[in-house]
C-alpha cells in the first residue's frame, strides 16, 4: 500500500506539470494583447519584399551574370560583400568547371553560414549565374545573346539576401547555410548539334556536392529557390522533391497555406525538374525541396519568359517574392 502511493504521487505531479506546460504552449491565454492564434509561439520576422526586389534589381543592373564575364565577377563580389555585411561567415569556393562544349567556366559558389557551430542545420539555396543564351526565343538571331535572368537566377538570390538580413537581426533556433550555386544555367542549348553529354546543368552544385565547403557537411533538409519572382507564379509540388523530400514538401506547403499564400502553392504535382536539388540529394543525401515556378499552360512549363529576353525586371512582382520569402521564414523559424 505504502509503496503504491510513492509511485502514484510523483506520477500525478508529472501529469499536472505536463498539462500546465501544454496549456501555455498552445497560446490559449486570453490575456489582452495576446493573439487568438493556435499554431506556434515563435515570432516569425516579417519578410520585406521591397528589399528583396532591390536585391534582384541590383543583380540585373550588372548585366547578364555569365561565368567568364566582368558582370559575373562584379556581381559575385557584390554578393560576398552583402552576405558579410549581413553578419554571415562567408566561404568562397572557386572552381574551373567544364561546360557541355568544353568551355572552362571560372565559377564560384558562395556559402554564407549562420550559427555555424549548431549541428541542427537547414540549407537554403539558389543559383546566381544567368543563362548565356536565350534559346527559347523563336527568332534564331536572338537566341545567341545572354539573358538578364531577373527571374531565372536573380529572384532566388534576392529572396535569400533578404532572409540573410533577417537572420542577422534575429537568429532562429537552428543554424542556416545559404548557398549561392554558380554555373547552374550553362546546360546544352536547344540549338546545339554536337554530341549529347549528361549532367551539363547545375555544374556548381555538382562541384559542391563532391567538395562541400566543410567536410562531412550535413543538414536536416534543404530548400532550393528557382524562379520565385514572376508575376502570377504558381509553385506546384515538383516531383523529384515529392519523392525524395516528401515530408518537407508537406511542411513547406502547409506553412504557405497557414499564412495565407495558398493560392501561390497548389497542393498538386508539377513536373520533375533537373535542378540543383538533385545533386544536393544524390551527392550529399540531403533531402532538398525545389520551389520552382510551374506554369501548366506554357509550352516549357516554366512560363513564356523562360530562357528568353522577356526574363527581365518587367516580369518581377514583389508580391510573389513576398509569398515565397515569408513562407521560407515561417518554416525556418519554426524549426527546433
Ligand atoms: C532543364 O531545363 C533540364 N532544367 C531546368 C533547370 C533550370 C534552368 N532552372 C533554371 N534554369
Ligand atoms: Zn535557366
User: What are the sequence ranges of the domains in the chain?
Assistant: 11-333
Predicted confidence at residue 23, as pLDDT, reads 33
Q: How far is the CA of 221 from the centre of ligand 1 (A)?
A: 21
Query: Is any ligand 1 atom within 6 A of the Cβ of residue 185?
Result: yes
- Given the DSSP bridges, would you call strands 175-181 and 104-114 parallel, antiparallel or unpaired? antiparallel
Q: How far is the CA of 290 from the centre of ligand 1 (A)?
A: 11
From the CA of 274, give the closest atom in ligand 1.
Answer: 4
Q: Whose C-alpha lies nearest to ligand 1, atom 7?
A: 275
Q: Whose C-alpha lies nearest to ligand 1, atom 2?
A: 274
Q: Report the chain (336 residues): mean pLDDT per 10 consecutive residues.
A: 43 40 36 47 95 99 98 99 98 98 98 98 99 98 98 99 98 98 98 97 99 97 98 98 98 98 98 98 99 95 97 98 99 98
Grid cell digits, residue 288: 532538398
Grid cell digits, residue 71: 558582370
Predicted confidence at residue 143, as pLDDT, reads 98
Q: Whose C-alpha lies nearest to ligand 1, atom 11?
A: 185
Q: How far is the CA of 267 from the centre of ligand 1 (A)?
A: 22
Predicted confidence at residue 31, as pLDDT, reads 38
Q: Whose C-alpha lies nearest to ligand 1, atom 10?
A: 152
The CA–CA distances, whole Å, from 291 to 150, 180, 229, 325 equal: 16, 15, 11, 11
Predicted confidence at residue 7, as pLDDT, reads 44
Predicted confidence at residue 41, as pLDDT, reads 79
Q: Where are the beta strands (DSSP E) in 40-143?
A: 89-98, 104-114, 121-127
CATH number 3.40.630.10 is the correct assignment for the domain at 11-333: yes
Predicted confidence at residue 201, as pLDDT, reads 98
Amino acid at each position: 500500500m505504502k509503496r503504491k502511493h510513492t509511485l502514484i504521487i510523483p506520477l500525478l505531479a508529472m501529469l499536472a506539470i505536463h498539462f500546465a506546460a501544454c496549456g501555455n504552449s498552445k497560446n490559449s491565454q486570453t490575456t489582452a494583447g495576446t493573439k487568438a492564434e493556435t499554431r506556434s509561439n515563435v515570432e516569425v520576422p516579417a519578410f520585406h519584399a521591397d528589399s528583396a526586389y532591390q536585391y534582384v534589381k541590383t543583380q540585373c543592373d550588372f548585366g547578364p551574370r555569365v561565368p567568364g564575364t566582368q558582370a559575373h565577377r562584379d556581381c559575385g563580389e557584390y554578393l560576398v560583400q552583402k552576405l558579410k555585411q549581413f553578419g554571415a561567415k562567408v566561404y568562397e569556393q572557386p572552381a574551373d568547371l567544364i561546360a557541355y562544349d568544353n568551355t572552362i567556366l571560372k565559377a564560384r559558389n558562395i556559402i554564407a553560414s549562420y550559427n555555424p557551430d549548431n549541428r541542427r542545420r537547414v540549407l537554403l539555396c539558389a543559383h546566381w549565374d544567368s543563362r548565356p543564351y536565350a534559346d527559347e526565343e523563336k527568332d534564331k538571331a536572338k537566341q545567341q545573346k545572354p539573358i538578364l535572368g531577373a527571374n531565372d537566377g536573380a529572384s532566388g538570390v534576392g529572396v535569400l539576401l533578404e532572409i540573410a538580413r533577417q537572420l542577422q537581426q534575429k537568429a532562429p533556433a537552428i543554424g542556416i547555410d545559404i548557398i549561392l550555386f554558380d554555373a547552374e544555367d550553362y546546360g546544352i542549348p536547344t540549338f546545339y548539334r554536337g554530341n549529347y553529354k549528361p549532367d551539363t546543368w547545375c555544374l556548381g552544385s555538382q562541384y559542391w556536392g563532391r567538395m562541400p565547403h566543410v567536410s562531412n557537411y550535413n543538414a536536416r533538409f534543404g530548400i532550393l529557390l528557382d524562379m520565385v519572382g514572376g508575376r502570377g507564379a504558381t509553385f506546384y509540388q515538383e516531383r523529384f522533391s515529392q519523392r525524395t523530400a516528401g515530408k518537407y514538401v508537406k511542411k513547406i506547403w502547409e506553412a504557405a497555406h497557414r499564412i495565407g499564400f495558398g493560392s501561390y502553392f497548389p497542393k498538386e504535382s508539377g513536373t520533375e525538374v533537373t535542378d540543383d536539388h538533385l545533386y544536393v540529394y544524390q551527392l550529399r543525401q540531403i533531402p532538398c525541396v525545389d520551389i520552382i515556378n510551374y506554369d501548366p499552360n506554357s509550352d516549357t512549363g516554366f512560363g513564356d519568359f523562360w530562357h528568353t529576353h522577356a526574363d527581365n525586371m518587367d516580369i518581377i512582382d514583389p508580391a510573389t517574392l513576398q509569398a515565397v520569402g515569408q513562407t521560407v521564414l515561417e518554416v525556418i523559424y519554426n524549426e527546433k
